[in-house]
Amino acid sequence: MKKKLLRKSRASEPTKQPVKEAPRVLIVDDSEMVRNFHSYLLKEAGFEVRTAADGAEGLEVFLREPFDLVITDINMPRMDGFTFIKRVRELDKTVPIIIISTQDEAQDKQKGFDAGANVYLVKPTKPSVLVENIKFLIR
């Protein structure tokens, strides 16, 4: 006895929603501890993260991969954060950039904004403040 196979109508199948990719964030900081902390925090919040140890390495990574947002320190070897931001802005005028630095002087903040940063946060930064700023900038 042969069994008839019933085929489902395509109309009754659920439509597949496109899988939304996690926003990609580049973290540039010469402190391995800071890179690891921010990386862990952002991965837990649903972001895909790449890291670099200074501005020169950050620029190399930025040239190879697309990013939705960049986080950078200021004081780093080989290439400081201000120079890194200026170079990124030559390549991409729209990618949001957040500076996270221990430098809290008004002239440092102004220099960061003049270089092309969108947000300037002072270390130590509350994790919730960092994540809120990222979500605001990439919405």
pLDDT truncated to tens, each residue of the chain (139 aa)? 555 544 444 455 555 666 678 999 999 999 999 999 999 999 999 999 999 999 999 999 999 999 999 999 999 999 999 999 999 999 999 999 999 999 999 999 999 999 999 999 999 999 999 999 999 999 8
Can you read off the two tokens belonging to residue 8? 């489902």
pLDDT in tens, 108-134: 999 999 999 999 999 999 999 999 999
CB atoms within 10 A of CB 62: 22
E strand map for the chain: 24-28, 48-52, 69-72, 97-101, 119-122
- In terms of phi and psi (left: phi > 0; alpha: psi -120 to 50; beta: otherwise), the region of 33 is alpha
pLDDT value of residue 17: 61
3-state secondary structure of 119: strand
* pLDDT attached to residue 21: 87
Tokens of 64: 């190879």
Q: Name the pTM for this structure.
A: 0.85
For residue 31, the model assigns a pLDDT of 97
pLDDT at 7: 47
Rounded Cα gap, residues 13 and 25, in angstroms = 36
Q: What are phi and psi for residue 89, nearest 5 degrees?
A: -65, -30
What 3-state class would DSSP assign to 88? helix
- What domains can be seen in the chain, in order of their start residue? 25-108+115-138 (3.40.50.2300)
Other CB atoms within 10 A of residue 44 CB: 10
pLDDT at 14: 54
Of 20, 21, 23, 22, the C-alpha closest to 98 is 23
